[in-house]
Amino acid sequence: MDISRTGPYELRVEQQGAMRVPGVVYATRELLSDAGQSLEQVRNVATLPGIVLASYAMPDIHWGYGFPIGGVAATDPAQGGVVSPGGVGFDISCGVRLLAADLSAEELAPALGRLMDALDPVVPRGMTRGAVWDLHEPGELRRILVAGSRHAVERGHGDQRDLDRCEDGGAVDGADPGQVSERALERGLHQVGSLGSGNHFLEVQRVDAVYDTEVAEAFGLRPGQVCVMIHCGSRGLGHQICTDHVRRMEQRMPHHGITVPDRQLACAPVDSPEGRAYLGAMAAAANYGRANRQLLADAARRVFAQLLGAGLELVYDISHNLAKLERHEVDGATRLLCVHRKGATRALPPGHPDLPADLRGHGQPVLIPGTMGTASYVLTGIPGGRAFHSTCHGAGRTQSRHQAARGVSGRELRDRLEAEGIAVRPSSWRGLAEEHPGAYKDVDAVVEAGEGAGLCRRVVRLTPLGVVKG
C-alpha cells in the first residue's frame, strides 16, 4: 500500500488499482499503530462507483463492517453514485444526546449514589430487559418510524425544545416503513427506550473544562455543571434492516454491473429501486433511534425531578451512523451527494442553514463520548470543515471485546472506577469488562487530532460522575 504523510494529522493513501479516488486519513502515527486492516478498508471504499474527492477516515479509525469505523465517503447520484449499508453500519443512527442539568456537581455530590440507584432500574438495557415504552401494536411503531422524536413528544415524552435541538428536528424525512421487514418490526416492537449492550451507556457527567466560553454558554453549558449523556441507537430493528438490505443489494449488484473488493461493501445506485428502498428503511431506523434516545432522556428527567428537583435541558442530539443526501461544493460546483458517515459525526459550521436559529452563529454541537472512566467532549463545527463537515465520533476501539474481557474482570473494573469516585451500575460483569478504558484509544489524543486536522474545535470537556452501562 502506497501511503505518505502529508501533515502531522494527515496521511494519504495513493490511488492505485481499482481505486477511483485517494484515501485521506486524519490521524497521528500513534493513533494508527493498529490500523492495518482499517487502512485496507479505506482503500476498498475508494473503489465505490460515483465516489468523489476521497475515501476519508477520522482519527478514531478502526476495523468495521465494509467501511472502517470512522469512515466517510460521498457519492454523486448523478454520476452513478451508490449507497452502501456498510457505510452506515448495523446500528443505524447510533448517536449521542447530551442534556444539561440546572445544578452543579458539588450540589449533586451528597446524592450521587441515590441518583445512580434510581437511574439503574429505569434505564432498560441488554437483550431482554424491556424498554421505557413497550409497544403492543405495530401501528404505533410505524408512527415512530415516520416521525421519530416528534411522535414521542406528541405523546408527552418531551417538549418543542427537544425537537429544536435535535438533528433534523427530531425526524429524518423520507422514511418508508414499507421497506422495513416484518422481522425488523418484530425486533423493534419492545425496545423503544432501551440502551442495548456493548459501548452504549447513560452517563452522569461534570463540565470539567471550558475552552470557548461564548460558545459553551450558547450551548447551555457552564463550568462544574452536571450533564447527562446518552449513547445508543436503533437496536435490533436497525441491525435487521442492515442485514436485509445488504443481502438484497448483494444479489442485485450484477444487474447494475457493480463489483466490489469486499462483499461487505454491497451497494446499489442511489436512484435505483434497491438504493431508494434502503434509504427509506434507513431513515425509518434513524427515526427509531431518535425516539429511543428521547424516551431515555424522558426517563432520566423524571428521576432528576423526583429525587433532586432538578431539570434537564437538551443541548443537542446527533447521529454518527447515517447516510444523508447533502449539498456540497466539489470542483467549484454545488452537487447533491450521498454522504456516508460510519462512526463519524456531522460537524456543521457557523451560519449553516440546517442549524437551529439559536445555534446558527456558533456552529453545531458535536458530541464525542469517551470510554468508561475517561473524558467526553463537546466540539463544534468550523468554517471550511473538511471531509464534508465531518469529524470523529468517540475514542475508537483498539481491542476486541473478547481481548478486553481477558484483561480485567468486571468486578475489578467496577472497584477501580468506584475508587476514582465514579459510580457504576453495570448490566453484567462481562459486559463491563469488555468496555474497560484500555480497550480504546486515548480520547484526548483523538480530539486533538480532529482539531489539529481542521475538522472541529473544542468547546468543553466532560468527566464522568456515574454510569449506567449497557
Residue 252 near residue 143 (C-beta atoms within 8 A): no
Q: What residues form DSSP beta bridges with 101?
A: 312
Query: Among the options 62, 245, 393, 436, which is catalytic?
Result: 393
393 noted as active-site residue: yes
Q: Annotate the chain with three-state secondary structure.
A: CCEEEEECCEEEECCCCCCCCCEEECCCCHHHCCCHHHHHHHHHHCCCCCECCCEEEEEEEECCCCCCEEEEEEECHHHCCEECHHHCCCCCCCEEEEEEEEEEHHHHHHHHHHHHHHHHHHCCCCCCCCCCECCCCHHHHHHHHHHCHHHHHHCCCCCHHHHHCEHHHHCCCCCCHHHCCHHHHHHHCCCECCCCCCCCEEEEEEEEEECCHHHHHHHCCCCCEEEEEEEECCHHHHHHHHHHHHHHHHHHHHHHCCCCCCHHHCCEECCCHHHHHHHHHHHHHHHHHHHHHHHHHHHHHHHHHHHHCCCEEEEEEEECEEEEEEEEEECCEEEEEEEEEECCEECCCCCCCCCCCCCCCCCCEEEECCCCCCCEEEEECCCCCHHHHEECCCCCECCCHHHHHHHCCHHHHHHHHHHCCCEEEECCHHHHHHCCHHHECCHHHHHHHHHHCCCCEEEEEEEEEEEEEC
Residues that are catalytic: 393
